[in-house]
Structure 1
């Protein structure tokens, strides 16, 4: 008996040694650690932790009509609703992974009937077997069974649990993806809204300028009747009127397209966008606090998404590594079985049970497992580079917008002086023309330059609004 135990022990040790030998895992030469370092502050900016990104978008945007548009978009936007379904599927995947490392328990019930050949081992046994005295084995043979069966893979290498943790991280990643989409959606609607206000003001400027040019045209015609101007001057003034009338229709088309762009983001068919275009140039632009670069790691949804994906990729490497190790499973069952229903409940005669344990380790086809492991390592490196790129991209975006805001501020001041000077020049040129002290070309050129300067200052004001929205977005605001 002792010899049997010794032999069994020796065989078991040998098998385990063999499994251990074949379970040797190839290791990646180097796994690159991610670089989370960022500069301490932005160029030419004071080190201040006050950050506008923490302000909710409903408080950041002071225009109530814009806030109402954003509210509608967050509810109705189709792309955002698609992303919400993606989040739901990621949450379901967590439950799938969680169920994999819990025991699988099934209930079964079945019946069958069959007849074996007489000239077989089972057939010969059945012919000579009496179940009870004067009662032969039934032919054909029925079989009825009912019971419970269970199987469980022992997760000693944490493969299944790491898979579940990776699914949780992927779920969190999709949430950050949704937040990033909300940030972009809020920014896009605000951009289009201020573009629409700028177009409205450009249309007003065109109409005001047309009135001035039409009055100038009447004056030139009177001058021609008095032989103080030529037909050439009349035609040049007429051409300028036609030019601005055509520009008016171009702006009207841009207004329609911008309105429909907003309607698309709101998930609805075209309709007029409710807005207040008055006092566009006089509307103040709030100062934005950039905070410090390290705050980007916590505020930017795209950075947090990349971080979750990186952590998930590290767990995927562990899962792929665990495939080299033996898997240990337990299968068990208990139930009742009999060839007639009246015997099915007769215990212990109809009782059956089983308990099986097995150890399975890859032996021959290990190349596929090695390839999957190498791919998992490569995906982890990809995730590291993507994470570092997200941080670098965020810092550069903020730095660009901070510089843009400062330059636009100085640009706008000079544009104001240019508009004031050219507006005064219009009336001056007309007076000089009436007194024959200026040519008609000077009047035309002055009116054209004044119109261009007014259009440009509206564009500059719009760019200031867009830069303010962009810096709010790049700092990580707009999703909370």
Structure 2
């Protein structure tokens, strides 16, 4: 008996040493991102340390809103829950690397009565304790490959949390900008309403003096009524934006949100963008795509290892006796080893290898697409902000010219050289430019927020659940 046990132990040690080698371990993969551009097309290649970009807007209320979003947003809570699920799956995938141990215990009582003339009754009780352990030797690395794949999936799920946090921070900041822009629009409309009412009073005076026709009065009244009709829509848009922001914070739509700022912040100079290659480590969605590609490589290794023979060991110990006092004096120990090898499975295992290889091809394409999308998003944001700045400067020049034209038209109208139409035309032009300028300033901030989101960063690593 002792020789058999020693032989099994020696065999187990040898097999464990063999199992420490992974013949199907994936080779180190070169970056599948293909050739990247050396720089972005517009700005410097200098890179700045990762930071919380929204703090550059210098608004404590915005900072508080984003911090609250990190803890209360329901979408972010969903991603944390998915991360916990994937981490649990990773633990399950690695459990087979260790022997399992199951305890057993029982007690039973029997009573037998004979049917002969003596009517003898025999009773018996018995107790037992035992333990059973089984272990599959991971000769070809199948279990280890599955565990590595699951660990990489868990890391990718953490990057999904980081991606969601970056996206939601940008969404909160964008809603904050739009709310302030609508507030500015309302204030501007109220100012324009007062200006137009003043113009209407002056025209009515001139009408009563028979200096102008009723048409001038009706035209100016129409301008006043247009402004009055526009104010409720601006108020509605602001309220809808507040509802969206409340939802991002995990609150009811009617929740009061403290946003006291009256004017849009001025964006600072465009930040250093770094190199396109920096995105591979700065953007969590790229890191997640890379990890899922490596996880697929490990799944190929597991599928290949599954086609080879497997050896499992089983050990069982049991103590049992009818008398509890001598329970541990009677025991049984058994050791067993089993070898299983696939002979014919209808090409099921081979098809699994092919499927795993096809998944790798899919992940390679997905990774390259994600890389190209990331570069495109940075380029789009850079172009948008650059051209938006040019557009705003152009609008400011148009505004200055339009105000001069309005002043000149007013002078000519007061002298009776023209009717009211030139004044009305220039008044509408100036007021339309004023409203458009506010919207374009908000669009400029939106482009900056998109740039920060596209550049990524490592600040999300400090987030905890």
Matched, 1:238 2:221: yes
User: Post-superposition shift, 1:88?
Assistant: 1.8
Matched, 1:452 2:450: no
CA distance in 2, matches of 1:259, 1:109: 63
Equivalent in 377, 384, 387 of residue 407 of structure 1: 387
Alignment of 1:342-357 (within 5 A): 345=327, 347=329, 350-357=330-337
User: Post-superposition shift, 1:159?
Assistant: 1.1
Equivalent in 293, 306, 323 of residue 341 of structure 1: 323
Aligned residues: 427
Change (3 A) 1:237 1:67: same
Alignment of 1:178-197 (within 5 A): 178-197=161-180
Equivalent in 48, 51, 58 of residue 48 of structure 2: 51
CA distance in 2, matches of 1:112, 1:437: 118
Normalising by the residue count of structure 2, what TM-score does the alignment of the two structures yield? 0.85
Matched, 1:312 2:320: no
1:65 equivalent in structure 2: 61
Give the number of the structure whose alpha-carbon radius of gyration is greater. 1
Change (3 A) 1:464 1:80: same
Q: Which runs of 5+ in 1 are unaligned?
A: 1-24, 26-30, 119-137
Equivalent in 186, 198, 207 of residue 224 of structure 1: 207
1:153 equivalent in structure 2: 136
Equivalent in 420, 442, 448 of residue 400 of structure 2: 420
2:188 equivalent in structure 1: 205
Q: Which runs of 5+ in 2 are unaligned?
A: 1-22, 24-28, 115-120
Matched, 1:439 2:437: no
2:460 equivalent in structure 1: 479
Matched, 1:291 2:271: no
Q: RMSD of the TM alignment (CA)? A: 2.6
1:41 equivalent in structure 2: 39
CA distance in 1, matches of 2:60, 2:418: 49
User: Post-superposition shift, 1:107?
Assistant: 1.3
Alignment of 1:320-331 (within 5 A): 320-331=303-314
Change (3 A) 1:298 1:60: farther
Change (3 A) 1:35 1:342: closer
SS of match in other structure, 1:275: coil
CA distance in 1, matches of 2:55, 2:177: 17
Change (3 A) 1:222 1:470: same
Change (3 A) 1:49 1:139: farther
User: Post-superposition shift, 1:414?
Assistant: 1.0
SS of match in other structure, 1:345: helix
1:134 equivalent in structure 2: none
Normalising by the residue count of structure 1, what TM-score does the alignment of the two structures yield? 0.83
Change (3 A) 1:153 1:437: same
CA distance in 2, matches of 1:463, 1:323: 56
1:273 equivalent in structure 2: 257
Equivalent in 102, 106, 111 of residue 98 of structure 2: 102
CA contact (8 A) 1:33 1:384 kept: no
CA contact (8 A) 1:154 1:328 kept: yes
CA distances 1:238-284 after superposition (whole Å, capped 9, x unpaired): 1111111111111010010011111111111223433344443x734
Equivalent in 82, 87, 90 of residue 86 of structure 2: 90
Change (3 A) 1:331 1:295: same
